[in-house]
């Protein structure tokens, strides 16, 4: 606007008067009506400085940007102020979502326009966009900061590759039944991922499902439960934490114990209320289980036992759990489940059950064919073997 046009413009004169009186809102409006962009921008910047809230400040600065038009100097002033305000707002609220990250990028773009390349780069680095930060530093001639950002970008890319590799390794290991290996890959992913929350959730989920105590339950749909164990001592009783849980009346919470000793399996009563009998006689002390036989827990629960090549097979012969079977042996010894009505076999290593196909050729493991390599079972696995649908617990 020329000097004479300003002098003859009522809006311009009103704007000058309002500015002199400190009424920046009216001054901004009148400068805009007069077409005086520089004055309008100046007043909107003043409005922002006096704004009572951050949102009001940002609103005033956006007005300043709008009135800056195509003027490079006005754009620079308004953009620098708006970019800084946006960045301060995001920092105060925290960067948690993709929307927050978008706000940071908007702030950085404005800061670059406003020639504040240092702050633009710092904002972009805060969201992990080191390459964009390096570009911002480069535009400002900040060579050292640019090189540092590029080095961080290289490190970030390496971590991203490590994360992707760990995730792929986890999925493969889970699919083929190498669960300890899968856990190791999740730990690696947690250590390399920028946002590791999902990997921590998967790790917690896997830790809950892992079987490490030398006991696995084979739940065949429509058929009695099979429990496979490799433990020095087996506790029988009503308590759900027992190795073999029995619901028959007269069975104590922890009724009897079978201990693995050099001379074989030894049965003893655990001071139960209704006692333990072997071949109809009350049990006193420890009694070795040899060959085939029967013992009772209380009045209503009887169990058949048989030793087969160092493996103990217990089968509940009466009571509520009739047909439930426990098979137990030393760790590292193959437990052939054929005698208990299932053609699979299990070996325990470090308390972990490793499943083999046994005498069967067509076994599905979590909907995938089970090959010759053993798989580490965890709770929640599903099997189909010889027509049986099996859940692992």
Q: Is the pLDDT of residue 264 over 80?
A: yes
Question: For residue range 303-316, what is the model confidence (pLDDT) as tens digits?
Answer: 999 999 999 999 99
Q: Quick check: 4 pLDDT over 60?
A: no
**pLDDT greater than 60 at residue 1:** no
As a whole number of angstroms, the distance between CA 171 and CA 269 comes to 46
What digits encode the pLDDT tens for the residues 180-224?
999 999 999 999 998 899 999 999 999 999 999 999 999 999 999
Contacts of 297 (CB under 8 A, 6+ apart): 236, 237, 246, 248, 250, 251, 252, 255, 256, 272, 274, 276, 303
pLDDT exceeds cutoff 80 at 8: no
- Output the average pLDDT for the chain: 92
- Confidence band for 7, pLDDT divided at 50, 70 and 90: low
The fold of the 215-392 domain, in CATH, is Tumour Suppressor Smad4 (2.60.200)
The burial of 391, by beta-carbon neighbours within 10 Å (0-12 exposed, 13-18 middle, 19 or more buried), is given as middle
Whose structure tokens read 């007069």?
Answer: 34
**Does residue 249 register a pLDDT over 90?**
no
Per-domain residue ranges of the chain: 152-209, 215-392
In sign, the C-alpha dihedral spanning 152, 157, 161, 167 is: positive
The 8-class DSSP code of residue 298 comes to T
Task: Dump pLDDT digits (tens) for 335-345.
Answer: 999 998 899 99
Tell me if 28 sits within 8 A of 5, measured CB to CB. no
Nearest alpha carbon to residue 59 among 78, 36, 38, 39: 78
pLDDT greater than 70 at residue 158? yes
- What b/e string do you get for 199-225 counting C-beta neighbours within 10 Å, with b at 16 or more? beebbeebeeebbeebbbbbbbeeeeb
Do 85 and 61 form a contact (C-beta atoms < 8 A)? yes
């Amino acid at each position: 606007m020329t000097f004479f046009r300003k002098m003859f413009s009522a809006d311009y004169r009103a704007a000058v008067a309002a500015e002199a009186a400190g009424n920046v809102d009216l001054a901004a409006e009148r400068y805009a009506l007069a077409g005086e962009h520089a004055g309008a921008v100046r007043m909107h910047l003043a409005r922002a400085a006096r704004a009572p809230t951050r949102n009001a400040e940002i609103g005033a600065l956006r007005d300043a940007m709008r009135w800056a038009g195509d003027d490079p100097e006005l754009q620079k002033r308004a953009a620098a102020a708006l970019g800084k305000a946006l960045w301060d707002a995001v920092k105060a609220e925290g960067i948690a979502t993709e929307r927050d990250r978008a706000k940071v990028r908007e702030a950085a773009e404005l800061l670059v326009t406003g020639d504040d390349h240092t702050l633009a780069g710092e904002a972009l680095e805060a969201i992990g966009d080191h390459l964009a930060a390096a570009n911002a530093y480069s535009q400002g001639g900040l060579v050292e900061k640019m090189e540092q950002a590029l080095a961080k970008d290289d490190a970030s890319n390496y971590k991203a590759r490590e994360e992707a590799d760990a995730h792929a390794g986890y999925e493969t290991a889970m699919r083929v039944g190498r669960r300890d290996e899968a856990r190791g890959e999740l730990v690696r992913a947690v250590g390399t991922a920028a946002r590791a929350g999902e990997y921590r959730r998967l790790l917690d989920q896997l830790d809950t499902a892992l079987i490490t105590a030398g006991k696995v339950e084979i739940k065949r749909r429509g058929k009695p439960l099979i429990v496979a164990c490799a433990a020095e001592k087996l506790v029988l009783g009503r308590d759900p934490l027992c190795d073999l849980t029995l619901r028959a009346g007269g069975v104590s919470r922890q009724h009897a114990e079978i201990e693995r000793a050099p001379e074989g399996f030894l049965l003893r009563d655990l001071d139960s209320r209704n006692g333990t009998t072997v071949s109809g006689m009350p049990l006193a002390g420890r009694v070795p289980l040899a060959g085939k036989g029967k013992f009772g827990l209380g009045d209503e629960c009887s169990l058949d036992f048989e030793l087969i090549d160092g493996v103990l097979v217990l089968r509940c012969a009466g009571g509520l759990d009739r047909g439930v079977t426990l098979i137990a042996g030393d760790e590292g010894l193959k437990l052939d489940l054929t005698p208990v009505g299932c053609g699979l076999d299990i070996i325990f290593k470090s308390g972990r059950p490793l499943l083999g196909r046994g005498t069967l050729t067509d076994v599905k493991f979590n909907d995938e064919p089970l090959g010759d390599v053993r798989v580490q079972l965890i709770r929640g696995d599903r099997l189909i073997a010889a027509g049986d649908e099996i859940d692992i617990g």
